[in-house]
Structure 1
Amino acid sequence: MTATPAYDPNNIFAKILRGELPAHKVYEDEKAIAFLDIMPRCPGHTLVIPKAPARNILDIAPDDLAHVAKVAKKVAVAAKAAFAADGVTVQQFNEEAGGQVVFHLHIHVIPRHAGEAMKPPASAMEKPEVLAAHAERLRSALAG
Protein backbone atom coordinates (compact mmCIF):
# COMPACT_ATOMS: atom_id res chain seq x y z
CA MET A 1 0.00 0.00 0.00
CA THR A 2 1.34 3.42 -0.94
CA ALA A 3 1.12 6.50 1.25
CA THR A 4 -1.27 9.31 0.31
CA PRO A 5 0.68 12.20 -1.24
CA ALA A 6 0.66 15.56 0.56
CA TYR A 7 -1.93 18.22 -0.20
CA ASP A 8 -0.79 20.63 -2.93
CA PRO A 9 -1.83 24.22 -2.04
CA ASN A 10 -1.42 25.21 -5.71
CA ASN A 11 -4.22 22.99 -7.02
CA ILE A 12 -6.90 24.75 -9.06
CA PHE A 13 -9.55 24.57 -6.32
CA ALA A 14 -7.17 26.05 -3.72
CA LYS A 15 -6.60 28.91 -6.16
CA ILE A 16 -10.39 29.40 -6.47
CA LEU A 17 -10.66 29.45 -2.66
CA ARG A 18 -8.00 32.16 -2.46
CA GLY A 19 -9.71 34.21 -5.17
CA GLU A 20 -6.81 33.76 -7.60
CA LEU A 21 -9.09 32.13 -10.19
CA PRO A 22 -12.72 32.99 -10.96
CA ALA A 23 -15.63 30.65 -10.32
CA HIS A 24 -19.41 30.77 -10.69
CA LYS A 25 -20.14 30.38 -6.97
CA VAL A 26 -23.63 29.32 -5.97
CA TYR A 27 -23.11 28.80 -2.23
CA GLU A 28 -20.56 29.74 0.42
CA ASP A 29 -20.34 29.48 4.19
CA GLU A 30 -17.49 29.42 6.70
CA LYS A 31 -16.46 25.83 5.87
CA ALA A 32 -17.44 25.12 2.24
CA ILE A 33 -18.18 26.58 -1.17
CA ALA A 34 -20.10 25.30 -4.17
CA PHE A 35 -19.47 26.45 -7.73
CA LEU A 36 -20.27 25.32 -11.24
CA ASP A 37 -17.98 22.94 -13.10
CA ILE A 38 -16.65 24.82 -16.17
CA MET A 39 -16.83 21.56 -18.14
CA PRO A 40 -20.25 20.35 -17.00
CA ARG A 41 -21.40 16.84 -17.75
CA CYS A 42 -25.00 18.14 -17.58
CA PRO A 43 -26.46 21.64 -17.10
CA GLY A 44 -26.13 22.67 -13.45
CA HIS A 45 -23.14 20.40 -12.69
CA THR A 46 -21.85 21.80 -9.39
CA LEU A 47 -18.76 21.06 -7.29
CA VAL A 48 -18.89 21.27 -3.50
CA ILE A 49 -15.54 21.64 -1.73
CA PRO A 50 -14.30 22.20 1.81
CA LYS A 51 -12.36 25.34 2.60
CA ALA A 52 -10.01 23.18 4.67
CA PRO A 53 -6.99 21.89 2.74
CA ALA A 54 -7.94 18.25 2.13
CA ARG A 55 -6.61 16.19 -0.76
CA ASN A 56 -9.59 13.81 -0.63
CA ILE A 57 -11.68 11.61 1.65
CA LEU A 58 -8.53 9.84 2.85
CA ASP A 59 -7.19 12.90 4.69
CA ILE A 60 -10.15 15.20 5.44
CA ALA A 61 -11.22 15.74 9.04
CA PRO A 62 -14.52 13.92 9.70
CA ASP A 63 -16.33 17.13 10.73
CA ASP A 64 -15.25 18.88 7.51
CA LEU A 65 -16.43 15.90 5.45
CA ALA A 66 -19.78 15.88 7.26
CA HIS A 67 -20.22 19.59 6.53
CA VAL A 68 -19.38 19.16 2.83
CA ALA A 69 -21.91 16.30 2.66
CA LYS A 70 -24.60 18.55 4.19
CA VAL A 71 -23.86 21.27 1.63
CA ALA A 72 -23.90 18.69 -1.20
CA LYS A 73 -27.39 17.61 -0.09
CA LYS A 74 -28.58 21.22 -0.01
CA VAL A 75 -27.15 21.81 -3.50
CA ALA A 76 -28.67 18.54 -4.80
CA VAL A 77 -32.16 19.55 -3.63
CA ALA A 78 -31.75 23.03 -5.18
CA ALA A 79 -30.31 21.66 -8.43
CA LYS A 80 -33.18 19.18 -8.85
CA ALA A 81 -35.65 22.05 -8.49
CA ALA A 82 -33.69 24.67 -10.49
CA PHE A 83 -33.22 22.39 -13.50
CA ALA A 84 -36.53 20.48 -13.22
CA ALA A 85 -34.40 17.34 -13.02
CA ASP A 86 -35.73 13.81 -12.65
CA GLY A 87 -32.80 12.86 -10.41
CA VAL A 88 -29.34 13.85 -9.24
CA THR A 89 -26.01 12.05 -9.61
CA VAL A 90 -23.59 12.62 -6.72
CA GLN A 91 -19.99 11.51 -7.26
CA GLN A 92 -16.75 11.73 -5.28
CA PHE A 93 -13.40 10.29 -6.46
CA ASN A 94 -10.20 9.60 -4.50
CA GLU A 95 -6.67 9.41 -5.91
CA GLU A 96 -5.79 8.92 -9.56
CA ALA A 97 -6.67 5.21 -9.58
CA GLY A 98 -10.08 6.16 -8.16
CA GLY A 99 -10.74 8.69 -10.92
CA GLN A 100 -9.69 11.88 -9.08
CA VAL A 101 -8.25 14.59 -11.35
CA VAL A 102 -8.09 17.67 -9.07
CA PHE A 103 -6.52 16.81 -5.73
CA HIS A 104 -8.69 18.89 -3.41
CA LEU A 105 -11.68 16.98 -2.07
CA HIS A 106 -14.79 17.73 -4.12
CA ILE A 107 -18.25 16.31 -4.55
CA HIS A 108 -19.93 16.46 -7.96
CA VAL A 109 -23.67 17.25 -7.86
CA ILE A 110 -25.18 16.69 -11.31
CA PRO A 111 -28.87 17.25 -12.08
CA ARG A 112 -30.14 14.51 -14.43
CA HIS A 113 -33.04 14.05 -16.80
CA ALA A 114 -34.39 10.60 -17.66
CA GLY A 115 -33.07 9.32 -20.97
CA GLU A 116 -30.32 11.99 -21.27
CA ALA A 117 -26.73 10.79 -21.05
CA MET A 118 -24.04 12.79 -19.31
CA LYS A 119 -21.29 14.28 -21.48
CA PRO A 120 -17.89 12.58 -21.11
CA PRO A 121 -15.72 14.05 -18.32
CA ALA A 122 -13.77 17.20 -19.26
CA SER A 123 -15.16 17.10 -22.79
CA ALA A 124 -16.28 20.67 -23.46
CA MET A 125 -15.88 24.04 -21.77
CA GLU A 126 -19.26 25.75 -21.28
CA LYS A 127 -19.80 29.36 -22.38
CA PRO A 128 -19.41 31.83 -19.48
CA GLU A 129 -22.85 33.37 -20.12
CA VAL A 130 -24.49 29.92 -19.86
CA LEU A 131 -22.65 29.22 -16.60
CA ALA A 132 -23.69 32.63 -15.24
CA ALA A 133 -27.35 31.90 -16.04
CA HIS A 134 -27.14 28.42 -14.48
CA ALA A 135 -25.46 29.85 -11.38
CA GLU A 136 -28.26 32.38 -10.98
CA ARG A 137 -30.88 29.61 -11.21
CA LEU A 138 -29.08 27.63 -8.53
CA ARG A 139 -28.58 30.63 -6.25
CA SER A 140 -32.32 31.42 -6.53
CA ALA A 141 -33.26 27.84 -5.70
CA LEU A 142 -30.84 27.79 -2.75
CA ALA A 143 -32.33 31.05 -1.45
CA GLY A 144 -35.66 29.29 -1.26
Structure 2
Amino acid sequence: MGQLSHRCLLYGAAAVGLLGGCGSPERQPDVQALPESDQERVFGRRKHDAMPLPGGEEVDLSAKTPDGEYVIPADAHARRAHPLTVGAGLMLCRSYNYAEGLIFISFQRELRTFVNTMYRMADGDALLRYAMTISSAAFRIPPLNWSH
Protein backbone atom coordinates (compact mmCIF):
# COMPACT_ATOMS: atom_id res chain seq x y z
CA MET A 1 0.00 0.00 0.00
CA GLY A 2 2.99 2.30 -0.32
CA GLN A 3 3.06 5.40 1.86
CA LEU A 4 -0.36 4.71 3.31
CA SER A 5 0.80 1.67 5.24
CA HIS A 6 -0.81 1.03 8.61
CA ARG A 7 2.46 1.66 10.41
CA CYS A 8 3.25 4.94 8.64
CA LEU A 9 -0.20 6.44 9.02
CA LEU A 10 -1.18 5.47 12.54
CA TYR A 11 2.11 5.32 14.40
CA GLY A 12 3.65 8.25 12.52
CA ALA A 13 0.66 10.46 13.24
CA ALA A 14 0.48 9.30 16.85
CA ALA A 15 4.08 10.35 17.35
CA VAL A 16 3.36 13.96 16.37
CA GLY A 17 -0.02 14.49 18.01
CA LEU A 18 -3.65 13.65 17.43
CA LEU A 19 -4.89 11.73 14.43
CA GLY A 20 -7.97 12.96 12.58
CA GLY A 21 -10.80 10.84 11.26
CA CYS A 22 -13.77 11.72 9.09
CA GLY A 23 -16.89 9.86 8.18
CA SER A 24 -19.57 10.72 5.69
CA PRO A 25 -22.60 8.53 5.06
CA GLU A 26 -23.50 8.86 1.41
CA ARG A 27 -26.28 7.64 -0.76
CA GLN A 28 -25.14 4.66 -2.79
CA PRO A 29 -23.39 5.78 -5.97
CA ASP A 30 -25.93 5.07 -8.72
CA VAL A 31 -23.44 3.93 -11.33
CA GLN A 32 -24.79 0.38 -11.64
CA ALA A 33 -26.89 1.32 -14.68
CA LEU A 34 -23.76 2.33 -16.59
CA PRO A 35 -21.81 -0.19 -18.69
CA GLU A 36 -18.89 -1.66 -16.71
CA SER A 37 -16.29 0.23 -18.79
CA ASP A 38 -18.00 3.54 -17.94
CA GLN A 39 -18.16 2.60 -14.25
CA GLU A 40 -14.41 1.97 -14.33
CA ARG A 41 -13.82 5.36 -15.97
CA VAL A 42 -15.85 7.11 -13.21
CA PHE A 43 -13.80 5.50 -10.44
CA GLY A 44 -10.48 5.15 -12.29
CA ARG A 45 -10.35 1.55 -11.06
CA ARG A 46 -11.23 -1.86 -12.44
CA LYS A 47 -14.56 -3.12 -11.15
CA HIS A 48 -13.68 -6.76 -10.58
CA ASP A 49 -10.66 -6.18 -8.31
CA ALA A 50 -10.61 -2.40 -7.54
CA MET A 51 -7.06 -2.09 -8.91
CA PRO A 52 -6.19 1.21 -10.59
CA LEU A 53 -6.59 1.45 -14.35
CA PRO A 54 -4.93 -0.17 -16.29
CA GLY A 55 -3.86 -2.48 -13.43
CA GLY A 56 -1.02 -2.72 -10.96
CA GLU A 57 -0.75 -1.83 -7.30
CA GLU A 58 -0.35 1.97 -7.46
CA VAL A 59 -2.30 4.69 -9.25
CA ASP A 60 -0.18 5.89 -12.21
CA LEU A 61 -1.46 9.34 -13.15
CA SER A 62 1.00 9.58 -16.04
CA ALA A 63 -0.07 6.32 -17.80
CA LYS A 64 -1.39 6.92 -21.32
CA THR A 65 -3.08 4.86 -24.00
CA PRO A 66 -1.34 4.30 -27.37
CA ASP A 67 -3.47 7.24 -28.62
CA GLY A 68 -1.96 9.57 -26.02
CA GLU A 69 -5.04 9.79 -23.77
CA TYR A 70 -4.64 9.39 -20.01
CA VAL A 71 -5.63 5.88 -18.89
CA ILE A 72 -7.25 7.38 -15.78
CA PRO A 73 -9.56 10.10 -17.14
CA ALA A 74 -9.20 13.70 -15.95
CA ASP A 75 -12.54 13.53 -14.10
CA ALA A 76 -12.06 10.03 -12.62
CA HIS A 77 -12.33 9.80 -8.86
CA ALA A 78 -8.88 8.15 -8.55
CA ARG A 79 -7.31 11.20 -10.24
CA ARG A 80 -9.42 13.98 -8.66
CA ALA A 81 -8.91 12.67 -5.10
CA HIS A 82 -5.23 11.67 -5.50
CA PRO A 83 -2.85 13.46 -3.08
CA LEU A 84 -0.62 14.61 -5.96
CA THR A 85 -3.49 16.44 -7.68
CA VAL A 86 -5.04 17.72 -4.46
CA GLY A 87 -1.84 19.13 -2.98
CA ALA A 88 -2.81 17.78 0.42
CA GLY A 89 -1.51 15.12 2.77
CA LEU A 90 -2.17 11.42 2.58
CA MET A 91 -5.41 9.76 3.70
CA LEU A 92 -6.31 6.19 4.45
CA CYS A 93 -9.81 5.76 2.99
CA ARG A 94 -12.39 3.00 3.02
CA SER A 95 -16.00 2.73 1.90
CA TYR A 96 -18.54 0.33 3.36
CA ASN A 97 -21.99 -0.54 2.01
CA TYR A 98 -24.99 -0.59 4.31
CA ALA A 99 -28.76 -0.90 3.74
CA GLU A 100 -29.40 2.74 2.79
CA GLY A 101 -26.20 3.45 0.89
CA LEU A 102 -22.51 3.79 1.54
CA ILE A 103 -20.38 5.14 4.35
CA PHE A 104 -17.00 6.63 3.53
CA ILE A 105 -14.40 6.78 6.30
CA SER A 106 -10.97 8.40 6.10
CA PHE A 107 -8.08 8.90 8.48
CA GLN A 108 -5.54 11.70 8.08
CA ARG A 109 -3.22 13.76 10.23
CA GLU A 110 -5.02 17.04 9.57
CA LEU A 111 -8.67 17.78 8.80
CA ARG A 112 -7.57 20.17 6.05
CA THR A 113 -6.39 17.15 4.03
CA PHE A 114 -9.99 15.92 3.88
CA VAL A 115 -11.36 19.42 3.20
CA ASN A 116 -8.86 20.10 0.38
CA THR A 117 -9.68 16.73 -1.17
CA MET A 118 -13.41 17.49 -1.08
CA TYR A 119 -12.86 20.90 -2.73
CA ARG A 120 -10.85 19.20 -5.48
CA MET A 121 -13.58 16.59 -5.97
CA ALA A 122 -16.32 19.25 -6.09
CA ASP A 123 -14.47 20.79 -9.03
CA GLY A 124 -15.20 18.00 -11.51
CA ASP A 125 -15.06 14.52 -9.92
CA ALA A 126 -17.23 12.20 -12.08
CA LEU A 127 -18.25 10.20 -9.00
CA LEU A 128 -20.18 13.16 -7.59
CA ARG A 129 -22.65 12.93 -10.50
CA TYR A 130 -23.78 9.62 -9.00
CA ALA A 131 -23.37 10.05 -5.23
CA MET A 132 -24.72 12.57 -2.75
CA THR A 133 -23.42 13.21 0.75
CA ILE A 134 -26.28 13.28 3.25
CA SER A 135 -24.24 14.00 6.39
CA SER A 136 -20.68 14.06 7.68
CA ALA A 137 -18.67 14.17 10.88
CA ALA A 138 -15.07 14.75 11.94
CA PHE A 139 -13.37 13.16 14.94
CA ARG A 140 -10.05 13.63 16.73
CA ILE A 141 -8.47 10.32 17.68
CA PRO A 142 -5.72 10.53 20.31
CA PRO A 143 -2.61 8.33 20.00
CA LEU A 144 -2.41 5.16 22.08
CA ASN A 145 0.04 6.74 24.54
CA TRP A 146 -2.02 9.92 25.01
CA SER A 147 -2.70 11.02 28.57
CA HIS A 148 -5.12 13.73 29.64
TM over 0.5: no
Report the TM-score when normalising by structure 1. 0.29
Larger relative contact order (Cα-Cα within 8 Å, sequence gap ≥ 6): 2
Specify the structure having the higher radius of gyration (Cα): 2
